[in-house]
Each structure stands twice: as C-alpha cells, then as structure tokens.
A and B are shown apart, each in its own frame.
Chain A
Amino acid sequence: MKILVCISHVPDTTSKINFTDNDTKFDTTGVQFVINPNDEFGLTRAMWFKEKQGASVTVVNVGGPETEPTLRKALAIGADEAIRVNTPATDGFSVAKQLAHIAQSGSFDLVIAGRESIDYNGGMVPGMIAGLNQVNFVNNCIGLEIEGTTAKAIREIDGGKETVATSLPLVIGGQKGLVEESDLRIPNMRGIMMARKKPLTVAEPITATAQTSSKAFEKPAPKGAVTLVAPDNLDELVNLLHNEAKVI
C-alpha cells in the first residue's frame, strides 16, 4: 500500500498571531513552525500501516523552501520520502489541485490529510483532493483499518460517531482519534540522522487557478476584564446572564 500524507506547515499553537503589510500578511517573525497537529495524527497512523502492514509512506507539502524543516521532521518521525511542491500555498483549491496531481501521478492508494490546518482552518483540502481525483473520502476520521483494498473507517459526526465501509483508493480527513496523543512520536537522534539521507524531491507545480484570495486580517477586539461573581451570590450570575448578556 502506498500512502501519501499531506503535511501543512503551520505556526505552533502557542504562537502570537500578528500581521504585517497593513494587516494583509501573517507576521512570521519569531514564529516557530510545526507539522499541523491534525496531519501529525495522520502521519502517526501511516507509520502504523508501514510497520504492521508494510506500507510505504511519502509526505508532501505545497510551499517554499522554508517548509523543508517541517518535511524533514516528518521524515525523522519515519516517513520514507518527501515531496515539496515548489509553489506558495495561496488558497485551499490550488493547494488541493497540486496534491491531487501528486496523489494521482504517484498512484497512491491512501491519502491522509488533516481535517483542517490550524492556521487558515479552511477544512477543504482533503475533500477537494478526493473530488478532483474522484475517489472515496472520509472526513473527520477517528479510526481507520485497511485490509487489502477494503477499508473500515470511523467518522466523528455531530453528537457521536459512525462506522463506514469503503474501498481504496481513499482520501482521509484525519484528526485526533486516528491515533491518540500519547502515540505521537518525537523524532529521536537516529531518526533525525536518517532523515538527512532520505530523498526530499522538489516537484514543480502544475497550473492551478486560485478560487479565493486572502485580502486582510483583523484581530479580535481586546476583551474586557472578567466580571467576578461571589460563589454565595449566584442569583447575580443568573441575573447577569439574563439581563446583561441576554443568553438565557
């Protein structure tokens, strides 16, 4: 089984989010970039398929050379090879188009992408890859077993979960649950050394027209201080929620 894991290069969760160029660009100054958490759960599940079922694991990212350390980290975790599509990630559709092309031309059986990236939160790339390549797609996937070409997946739905049966080729929108947080791997020294020798191919992009364009950013208005209510005065809390906040 050939697995392609899509890796988004995103600011670490604890990063300060600021903008430059008149609030039109994300300010990367001092920001540490990491593998998108939802992708990392998928990568770890892919490693399971590699170790237990002999799958090969390729990681791919669409972006400039600055994203290569993130791909190297994925290699250090255990992926066999990496591909960087050499074009800036401008919008969900154009990124999905590049990834769909890589998935199709490389005859990958399983494509795992995070259900959304934690920066733009578009939540559209996995579905678009599936739509472009006309293959099966399971989003919000929290469990995946594959035997031959048949797959059993668990999807998180509003208020619960459902188990579905499907077949390869398949695209997964992954998230926590594919593996647990305690299963995530920190690259060890041996992995880091080996990652340096693994192939990282730079692929030139295909033509893809963006359908959306980011125009500007705004930060939320600063929040006022919390209104404290004494624990022996909860009538006041009910009163505030009803008359001031108007939410009950």
Chain B
Amino acid sequence: MSVLVYTESDQGVFKKAAFEVASYAKAIATDLGTTVTAIAINANDTAALGTYGVDNVLQVNNDTLKAFNANAYAQVIKQAAEKENATVVVVSSSADSKYLAPLLSVGLNAGYASNVIAKPESTSPFKVKRTAFTNKAFEITEITSEVKIVGVSNNSFGLVESSGNASAEDFSPSVPDLGITVESVDKASDKVSIADAEIVVSGGRGLKGPENWGMVEDLADVLGAATACSKPVSDLGWRPHSEHVGQTGKPVASNLYIAIGISGAIQHLAGINASKVKVVINTDPEAPFFKAADYGVVGDAFEVVPTLIEKLKAFKAQQ
C-alpha cells in the first residue's frame, strides 16, 4: 500500500505541478503512515521528485505514449495503482490530468474529487475541501470508495521540500489501442501557460485594440507571467480563445492576478477568484473589479502599465 502520484512532464521535463502534487501526496502518506510512489511517463529526471517526498518512481518509457493520450495514460496509471495497491491516487488540475482522471476513476472504481485545495481534513472518513459554484463556495466532499482519486488545484498546496531520495524502477505496463491520434499541436512553446503560471497578467477591452498588447506582454515578461484576456477580448478576436479566462474560459488559480482594463463582470470574477492576490488597474473607480481586488490603481493603463514595468525592472535588478 502506498500513495500513488501521477507526476506530469512536458518534453521529458517535470512540470511544476508535478512537484506540487508530489508534495501533496507526501502529506497524505505521512498521515497514513505509508510511502509515496510516483508514476512518470517518458520523463527521466526522477531524482528531482525525491526532493518533494517521493520514495519510489515507476518509470515508463514508451514511444507510443510520446503524445498525451488520456485513455492510454489512464490505463498506465491504473496498472501502477494496482501494482502498488494504492488506496489514494493524486493528480494535478492540468487540462491533461483533468482529462484522464475520470477515465482512471472508472478503471479503478475509485471516487474522484477535483479542484481540491487543501490536505484532506481527515483520511478516515476521507474528506477533502474543494472549490464549487465556480469559486463562490467550498464543498467538503467525502470520497466513500475504497480507492480515492484526489485532483489538486494548481498553486493551492505549494511545494514542500523534504529530505528524501527517490529510487526508480522501470515499469512496462500494457498500452491499449489509442483510439485518438494527435494530428497537430498549436502551442506557444516559449510562453508560460495559464495553468502553470504563478502570475497571470490579463487585459480587457479597456486596452482598446490588439495592437496595444505589447505592454501586457512586457509586463508578463518582467514577472515571468502568463498572459490572459477577458471574454470580450477573445470574442473580438484580439487575442486567441486559449487566453480567455473566466467562467466559460480557462480557470485561473495563480498567486498573483493583474487585471488591466477589465471591469470585472461576474463571469470573469468567477473564473479568476481562486487567485490569491488580485491587482486591478482601471480608469473607472466604479468598476466592479475593485470590490474583488486586493490592490487597485485608478488610472489610465497606458500610463500606469509602462511605469509599473519600469518600477518592476528596477525592483528585479535589486533582487
């Protein structure tokens, strides 16, 4: 018996979320008095996982699994869970993990709680706290099945280092027919994705046009942030839909969310409310976003943002 964690990677390199879910799995394993086993698919820097509490890594190297395939990955994780007799399986809240988790749930006959934001309140009964009603409430959910799957909300638990060494062993599960083949991928590889970002800089209609996004990108660059936008901006085609955050767009759970020229419609706020600290820059002091934000600047974005970039550059230079 151990806690199994699926540690995601991109191009063979573990994502930050992998270390966060490993930290989370370690916390549960400590409560249960057991060890943490990670399942890593086509990622080889497994020693890094030891830093976050992983004891053993099941390492899968298989060319068929080169491109993500939810069903195949779910089958691989299922076999790892069965091999380890895992009673708890931890996954992240990335698009891929949220894609495979329901399939894994069926495969293991295991209850799945998504968007979990804290360590289980108790492990017997197994109760977790998760966001619900699009961040307008929290729900305490009990997972009643024998095997449990916990989907940890990104940036909710953080990274917790522990002094450990992860041993690795090769694992060769059977891989099912893929059923779905990837024909093309359209992804900006040099940019931080919204899901992975600790800081998100987002622009709204107040920026007046797509030609004005340079300063949003500059601000994001200084902060190592991802760029995002409000729904009207993606509807107008100023920015791609993949940058749209809000209720019908991508959810954001960053440490810092900076909204520029976004009024703060309820649907927008619902999607970004899980962010820890919110900053709003808007000319209209009556914009609803000021009620949801922690820090606000009432002013013209075209003056405030360039100055803020300079201040931040100076600050970063001092660090």
Residues of chain A at the chain B interface (Cβ within 8 Å): 11, 13-14, 17, 19, 37-38, 41, 91-93, 96, 118-128, 130-132, 136-140, 142, 152, 156-167, 173, 175-177, 180-182, 210-220, 223-224, 226-231, 234-235, 237-238, 240-242, 245, 247-248
Contact = CB atoms under 8 A, between A and B. Distances in A.
B208 interface: no
B143 interface: yes
Contacts, number: 272
A124 B114 CA distance: 8
B144 A211 contact: yes
Interface of B: 70-71, 74, 94-96, 98-103, 105-107, 109-115, 127, 129, 131-145, 179-188, 191-196, 198-199, 223, 231, 235, 241-242, 244, 247-250, 255-256, 266-267, 270, 273, 276-277, 279-280, 290-300, 303-304, 307-308, 311-312, 315
B137 A126 contact: no
A19 B138 CA distance: 11
Contacts of B111: 91, 93, 211-212
A235 B314 CA distance: 10
Contacts of B300: 231
A13 B107 contact: no
B152 to A, nearest CB: 14
Nearest to B97: A158
A139 B298 contact: no
Nearest to B274: A220
Shortest 10 CB-CB contacts between residues of A and residues of B:
A127-B102, A211-B111, A131-B106, A160-B187, A231-B299, A159-B193, A247-B256, A124-B102, A158-B193, A158-B195
B113 to A, nearest CB: 6
Nearest to B309: A234
A234 to B, nearest CB: 5
A176 B248 contact: yes
A-side interface mostly: mixed
Contacts of B244: 176
A17 B136 CA distance: 7
Nearest to B273: A220
A235 to B, nearest CB: 6
Contact of A156 (B95, B145, B266, B273): B95
Contact of B95 (A125, A140, A219, A220): A140
A41 B276 CA distance: 30
A7 to B, nearest CB: 16
Contact of A162 (B138, B182, B191, B308): B182
A128 B102 contact: yes
Given A17-B133, A218-B138, A238-B311, A164 B297 contact: no
B138 A229 contact: no
B99 A139 contact: yes
B277 A245 contact: yes
A159 B227 CA distance: 10
Contacts of A175: 248
Contact of B247 (A118, A156, A180): A118
